[in-house]
Amino acid sequence: MKTFDPQAMYSEWMSQLGSQAPWQDWIQPVKAMAEMPVSDVLKDIGATIDQAVLARLQNEYMQEFGRLWQDFALSKLPELNDKRFSATDWHNHAMHSYSAASYLLNARFLMAIAEAVEAPQKIKQKISFAVQQMIDAMSPANFLVTNPEAQSKLIESKGESLARGISQMLADMQKGRISQTDESAFEVGKNVATTEGKVVFENHLFQLIQYTPLTKTVHQRPLLMIPPCINKYYILDLQPENSLVRYAVEQGHMVFLVSWANPDESMSEVTWDDYIEDGAIKAFEVVRTISKQEKVNAFGFCVGGTIISTALAVLAARGIHPASSLTLLTTLLDFSDTGVLDVFVDEVQVALREQSIGRKGIMPGRDLASTFSSLRANDLVWSYVQSNYLKGEAPPPFDLLYWNADSTNLPGPMFCWYLRNTYLENKLRQTSELTVAGNQVSLGAIDAPVFVYGSREDHIVPWKAAFASLKILNPEHKERNMFVLGASGHIAGVINPPAKKKRSYWFNPVATESADAWFSGAVEHQGSWWPVWSEFLAKHGGKMVKAPAKPGNAEYAEIEAAPGRYVKVRAN
C-alpha cells in the first residue's frame, strides 16, 4: 500500500530547495501531498474521512503552496507568525524563511486532516495528539542544518556553542532527562521549601509539617493541606514571595501540610486504600488531636484534592465529618473530561500497567515526567533541545522548573487503581459505586462548604472539569459551593501571589448548572485570586486564639525541622 511519509517529503523539499531546482521540479512533492491515500491509512485504525472534505483541503493546500512559491520567485518573504521563528535570523535568509513557511503550511494541512477525521472521540483525540507530536518534532528549528540561529551561534563562537551543546546533551543523557533549569542553583530547605516549621508526625507514607505561626493570634480551626503525591509538595512553598503556604500562615492560619514519601521498592505493594487510610485520614486524626479541634479546613491540590475528597467521603460513611470547609485546586472528581491526558488512558494501556505493576511494582517518576512534558512538547522539550544543544546555552535558574524536574515515583498498585477507577471508568463520582478503605464512597455525603478553583488554560484539569465537582458536592445545598476561575495554566494559575499583581481571575457568586452559564455571568478581576480564598477560609476558621507557643503536643512531638527528610529523597 502506498503511504504518505511527511518526513521524507520534507527532506525532499529541503534538498530541492538547497539545489535551487526549477519551479517544475519543486511541484512534484506537492502533487504527492495532494494525492496521498489518506483514506487507506485511516482504514487501518478504524477511522474515515469525508472525501469531499479531503478534496477541499487538498485543493486549498495546493493553492496556498502555489502562492508561497510564487512569492519566493518574486523574492517576497513570507510572514512567520510563530514564536519559534521570531528571531531575525529566520527573516534575514530567504532559504530559512521559506523552510519555516513550508513547515507551517504542512503543519496546518496535517492538523486540518486530523480534525476532519470521522472516528470515535477517543480515537480522534489520539490521532490529533500523534499528528501534533510529529509536527512538533519536524520543526526546522529542531535541527542544526535548518536552524539559522544555531548556525549563527556556531560561527560567532567559532564552534564553542556546538561543543557546549554536545557536552550538555551528554550530561543530560546521563541524567536521563532534558535540563530545563540550572539545578545547582537550588537546594530544598535552603532556597526552596523554606517556610519555617517542624515535622510532628511521620509514617511510611508521609511526614506531617506544622508551620510556625507568623501572627500573634490564629484561627482556632487549623488548615490541613494535601498536595499531589505525583509531585513534591514544595510547589506550594517555592520561595517566600510566591509561597501559598507562607501566605496562608501570614493570614493567621495554623497550617499543617502532608509531605508524601517518594516511593521505592519498600512501597511497591502500597494501594490507594493505604493513601486514604494511612495517609489523608491519619493526617486528619493527627491535626485534630494537636489542635484539639473537631473541625479542620481541608485543602487538596490536583491529585491531592482527589485523595482528600475520597478520605472525607470514607469518613462520612463512618459518621465522621471533620471538615469545616473543603478547598479543591485544579482537582478532578468527575473524570468525564480529562483533557489531553485521555490519550494515554484506555483499556489496553491500563491492562498493560496492571499486568506489569498492578500487584507489586513502582511507576517511575521519569515516565510520569515524560508524559507531562509531551503534553507541551514545544515548550518543555523542543525549546530546550534548541537552546541547550543546538545553541549551547545553559538554562537559567528557575524555581518552578527545578521543582518540575524533582519527580516522584508512585506505588504500582495505587497508580493502577487510580487509573482504572477514575480516569478509565470514572467511578468516583458515582454514589456507592466504589469501596475504599472498607467503606462505600459517596462524595455527596461530604458535609462542608466547598471552594473550587480552576485554571482557564489548564491542559491537565480542564476548568470545566474542575467546575463539574460542584454538581457532586453539596447536592442539596449548592449555595455552599464557590467557584473561582484563574488565568493561565495548571501551575502558573495556582501560584499567583497578590504581590506580583499579575494575571486575573473570574468570579460569579451565583450557583449555575453549567460552566458556560457560570462564565457568562462572571466578572473578571485583575490580580490574584488568593485573597478571595483567604476570605473563604476566614469564614470557616473559627474565632481567633493565641498562636501556639510550640509545635505538636505530648503525643506528637517535634521530629525534625521542615522541610523534613522525605521531600529531599530523589526518584531513582
Per residue in 268-288, pLDDT tens? 999 999 999 999 999 999 999
Cα 557 from Cα 210, distance rounded (Å) = 11
Cα 324 from Cα 295, distance rounded (Å) = 5
Cα 534 from Cα 156, distance rounded (Å) = 53
Model-wide pTM > 0.85: yes
pLDDT tens for 202-252 read 999 999 999 999 999 999 999 999 999 999 999 999 999 999 999 999 999
Average pLDDT over residues 461-485: 94
H helix or E strand, kind and range, residue 535: helix 530-539
Query: Would you tell me how many other CB atoms lie within 10 Å of the CB of residue 432?
Result: 11
pLDDT tens for 360-398 read 999 999 888 888 888 888 998 999 999 999 999 999 999
What is residue 256's predicted lDDT score, i.e. its pLDDT? 98
Q: Percentage of the chain with pLDDT > 70? A: 92
Cα 567 from Cα 396, distance rounded (Å) = 23
pLDDT tens for 149-159 read 999 999 999 99
Query: Would you tell me how many other CB atoms lie within 10 Å of the CB of residue 215?
Result: 14
- Locate cell 502555489: which residue? 66
Write down the catalytic residue from 200, 296, 302, 494. Answer: 302
Cα 223 from Cα 230, distance rounded (Å) = 21
In 74-120, which ranges are continuous DSSP H helix? 88-92, 94-116
Provide the 8-state DSSP code for 422.
Answer: I
Cα 312 from Cα 8, distance rounded (Å) = 56
pLDDT tens for 86-129 read 999 999 888 899 999 999 999 999 999 989 988 888 888 888 88
Kindly indicate the confidence band of residue 493, based on its pLDDT and cuts at 50, 70 and 90.
very high
Scored b (16 or more CB within 10 A) or e, 232-269 reads bbbbbbbbeebbbbbbbbbbbbbbbbbbbbbbeeebbe
Q: Three cell numbers at 315?
A: 469518613
What is residue 119's predicted lDDT score, i.e. its pLDDT? 86
Q: Percentage of the chain with pLDDT > 90? A: 75
Q: What amino acid is encoded at 537 in this protein?
A: L
551 three-state secondary structure: coil
Q: What is the full DSSP assignment across 354-381?
A: HHHHSSS-EE-HHHHHHHHHHHTHIIII
The domains of the chain, with CATH numbers, are 6-143 (no CATH), 157-186+365-397 (no CATH), 197-364+409-568 (3.40.50.1820)
Nearest Cα neighbor of 127 from 340, 324, 335, 326 is 340
Helices 160-175, 148-156: axis angle to 10 degrees equals 120
Which residues are registered as beta bridge partners of 560? 199
Cα 466 from Cα 328, distance rounded (Å) = 9
Q: What amino acid is encoded at 133 in this protein?
A: Q
CB 522 within 8 A of CB 509: no
Cα 227 from Cα 241, distance rounded (Å) = 19
Cα 141 from Cα 101, distance rounded (Å) = 12
Terminal-residue alpha carbon distance, the chain: 45
Determine how β-strand 117-118 pairs with β-strand 48-49.
Answer: antiparallel
Cα 520 from Cα 535, distance rounded (Å) = 24
Q: What amino acid is encoded at 561 in this protein?
A: A
What is residue 467's predicted lDDT score, i.e. its pLDDT? 97
Is there a catalytic annotation at residue 229? no
Query: Is the model more confident about 566 or about 77?
Result: 566
Query: Would you tell me how many other CB atoms lie within 10 Å of the CB of residue 482?
Result: 21
Across the chain, mean pLDDT equals 90
Provide the 8-state DSSP code for 263.
Answer: -
Q: What is the full DSSP assignment across 5-69?
A: -HHHHHHHHHHHHHTT--HHHHHHHHHHHHT--HHHHHHTTT-EE-HHHHHHHHHHHHHHHHHHH
Q: What angle do CA 170, 175, 181 make, to 5 degrees?
A: 90
